[in-house]
Structure 1
Amino acid sequence: MSDRFALTGARIFDGDRWHEGHALVVRDGRVEAIVPSGALASDIRAVETGGGMLAPGFVDIQVNGGGGVMLNDHPDVASIETICRAHVPFGTTALLPTLITDTPQITAAAIAAGEAATLQKVPGFLGLHLEGPHLSVARKGAHDPALIRPMTDADQALLMEARRKLPVLLTTIAPESVEPARVAALAKAGVVVSLGHSDTGYATAQAFAEAGASVVTHLFNAMSQIGNREPGLAGAAIDIGALSAGLIADGIHVHPATIRIALDAKQGPGRIVLVTDAMATIGTDMTSFTLNGRMIYRKDGSLRLADGTLAGADLDMISAIRFIHQVVGVELSEALRMASLYPAQAVGQAHRLGRFAHGTAADVVALSDGLDVKRVWIDGTSVFQAGV
């Protein structure tokens, strides 16, 4: 017997436009339709959501940890489950657990864990993001410089084979450590290639975009900046339409005015998408943790190494949406797209995520008018309810 119900009592944002006085009909974990509330068939079970709004679940393509766990420290299925579960109360229904630059052994273990999580259909698991190790030491950020290295034939083959077994595989690379031909081969194999942790110039970034790179990792952070004669990777991310770019909207990584400038100037079809770059702290009260044997401290809304270097973000997705909407001034519909539709598009998953249309995943977040998360569904299954 099929499971069919309707979410009622809230205005609905379908990823494109708003629907007032309508209900979201779900059948067997997929969206069936958005229909006028008065037109619901009598045999459909109604689930009253109590006002506010329903929106597509958030998609986060850069999540290093959560629930007290870092993927680097425990590259296994249990950690992936913990990370995915930790982000659900903040409206994230699909995410890429992210491995920060590490040893070949840890990288292989993370890939194996991702493959197992795929087979086990871990709720919220979208695939993996391997951030490094093929980066630039000059823009290493919190990555261990001793582990950064050029990409080899074996590394390329590992990524291409992993992509065959994962729904999504995104890897952040720097042109300083990877040749354009490798990017072309990876992109052809379905790997999403992102440019980041790089001091590269505009012309090189453009060449890599032409080779198949399609994303830029955490815009403005750990990259060459916009100058009067050299736009750098930051300028390339904004000016080159083929590139989407992740953005950490916490008021610490990027100034609100800089965000406004970037949003106004961004050339499409690529978009600026919200990412959390979250670490183990999300969903916990922990004040410190380790990464590659180095202590990271949580204080005043940021995560830093002892020398003050930013190390990921103490950020969840609904907080990023509030910031981009309430502080930066982005219209609410666009802020929601930046957290759902646009990241889904960036990793080739907009056919099933980031919007409500017939056959898309019934990944739903119920929000109050004040943008608090009230309830969350993944594939039509209720996975979080505030106060319960």
Structure 2
Amino acid sequence: MIKVREALVGPDIVADSEVLQDHSVLVRDGRIEAIVPLRQVPTDYSKRELGQGILTAGLVDIHTHGAGGRGFNEGDAGGHRQALEAYLAAGVTSLLPTMSAAPIEDLVASLEVVDSIRSSAGLPRIEGAHLEGPYFSDAQRGAQDPRTLRMPDDGSVEQLLDHARVIRMMSLAPELPGAVRLTERLVSLDIVAAAGHTDGRDEDLFACQRAGLSHVIHVFSGQSTTVREGPWRRPGMLEATLASDLLTVEMIGDGKHLPPTLMKLAMRCLPDRLCLVSDSTPGAGLPDGSRYGMGDNEYLVEDGVGVTTDRTAFAGSTTLISQMLPIVSQLGVGLTDLIAMATSIPAHAARLSEVGRIAPGYHADFALFDEALSLRSVALAGRW
């Protein structure tokens, strides 16, 4: 076996809370061996000159439904591969293929496809899938198909949990009957339990947190807010999320789902625990006017975002994570914090190991940007 030793030189290196200049990342056999000053690069390492720019860990997307016209609800290996190739070209080296609510048998079919291809060479790393539903509130369903929504206590989850080894995360509405018990089951199976598309109150979230729920999907989207009962104000899921001390939380940073004020509020309330997700759809990369499907439903790309055909709700984004970085950077966030939102924080939220950081022992997955945060190239396991 040929041993590959390479020193990456040229760009600034984003390593956790530091931006290192005049340093090199040493890569050995697909892993990061060290970060050293240029003068300390070993003589037996070949140098790969990357030029000026910004080198980050490969991007991590834990909530994404598809790209390039294909999606993960299709249950088709060719479609999955096409979407995954589009992610890798956009700098995403680790992701959770995400399925929206669908008939249970269709979700099972999609899980089986994910399982069959997740170790394929030349595709992003897949620890498992994210099931976004079907245990959601009808009142906060957004673009989720109302015909496919279920209750956590109706027995249907057993068919899904027969494939627990393929599931990394499941989102559910904490107020539904059986939600606490389902949370306990997920945690016992090492599946991340997340709250989403929920019309509950803060106490519903707290009850599932006590059972082990640790994550909240797309803040401000599909979340109840404060209501009044007589003179009393009862906080909703949004306020409980923003006030939390431990939860990791997602934000769709496409500049469409949330205006700058709301994105700034989320970043201020959730430092070190807010991660960017694309929530992208098969419409990602398609021009305005294009139509795309998820399950049995058809949606529209309009003004750079996915919408339902009646234009009453967003239907996921059409923007991938690397394209979100320049948008979010305009909100005053520092470079290291911005990159963490797309690398180490989502990796932590989904409990992904050895990805999301430029650090010794981690996979040599990288994204290279220019100074304007436009993606230049990507590496997976040291292969550019």
Considering the TM-score relative to the shorter chain, is it more than 0.5?
Answer: yes
1:332 to 314, 326, 335: 335
Partner of 1:295: 298
* Corresponding residue of 1:361: 363
Cα deviation digits, residues 213-248 of structure 1 (max 9, x gap): 111111110110246823211111122222111101
Q: 8 Å contact 2:173–2:179 — kept in the other structure?
A: no
For 1:204 and 1:67, locate their aligned partners in 2 and report how far apart those are by CA, in whole Å. Answer: 37
TM-score with structure 2 setting the length: 0.93
Q: Secondary structure at the match of 2:169?
A: strand
Distance in 1, matches of 2:295 and 2:351, equals 31
Q: How does 1:122-201 map to 2 (within 5 A)?
A: 123-126=123-126, 127-152=128-153, 154-164=155-165, 166=166, 169-175=168-174, 176=176, 178-201=178-201
For 1:3, give the aligned amino acid.
Answer: V
* Equivalent of residue 354 in structure 2, options 352, 356, 362: 352
Does structure 2 conserve the Cα–Cα contact (< 8 Å) formed by 1:184 and 1:212? yes
Cα distance change, pair 201–121 in 1 and its aligned pair in 2 (3 A): farther
Which whole-Å CA distance do the structure 2 matches of 1:178 and 1:134 have between them? Answer: 10
- The answer to whether the 8 Å contact 1:303/1:314 transfers is yes
Q: In structure 1, list runs of 5 or more residues that go unmatched.
A: 383-388
The aligned amino acid for 2:103 is: T
SS of the residue 1:186 aligns to? helix
* 1:352 shift after superposition: 0.6
Q: CA deviation at 1:341?
A: 0.6
What is the aligned partner in structure 1 of residue 107 from structure 2?
A: 107
1:88 offset after TM fit, Å? Answer: 2.1
- Which of 261, 268, 293 is equivalent to 1:257? 261
Q: For the residues of structure 2 that align with 1:380 and 1:106, how far apart are their CA atoms?
A: 36
Confirm or deny that 1:320 pairs with 2:312. Answer: no
| 1:259-302 Cα shifts (integer Å, max 9, x gaps) | 21222122x7x711100010112234471112333331111112
Separation in 1 of the partners of 2:164 and 2:360? 27
Q: How does 1:38-57 map to 2 (within 5 A)?
A: 38-57=39-58
Shift of 1:255: 1.8
Offset of residue 122 of structure 1: 5.9
In 2, distance between residues paired with 1:163 and 1:25? 37
The one-character-per-residue Cα deviations of 1:17-46 (angstroms, maximum 9, x if unpaired) are 111101111111110111111221222111
Output one character per residue of 1:78-106: Cα deviation in whole Å (capped at 9) or x when no partner.
Answer: 22222221122322111111111111111
CA RMSD of superposed structures (Å): 1.8
Count of aligned positions: 375
Q: Quick one: which amino acid aligns to residue 76 of structure 1?
A: D
- CA separation of 1:141/1:17 partners in 2, compared to 1, >3 Å: closer, same or farther? same
1:119 deviation in Å? 4.1
- Is it true that 1:306 corresponds to 2:309 in the alignment? yes
Q: Residue 230 in 1 paired to residue 228 in 2?
A: no
Report the counterpart of residue 381 of structure 2 in structure 1.
Answer: 379
- Alpha-carbon distance between aligned partners in 2 of 1:304 and 1:125, rounded to the nearest angstrom: 29
1:17 alignment partner in structure 2:
18
Read off the aligned partner of 1:169 and give its amino acid letter. Answer: R
User: What is the aligned partner in structure 1 of residue 244 from structure 2?
Assistant: 240
- What's the TM-score, normalizing by structure 1? 0.92
2:38 maps to what in 1? Answer: 37
Q: Secondary structure at the match of 1:225?
A: coil
2 CA distance for matches of 1:81 and 1:213?
31
**Counterparts of 1:346 and 1:49, CA distance in 2:** 31
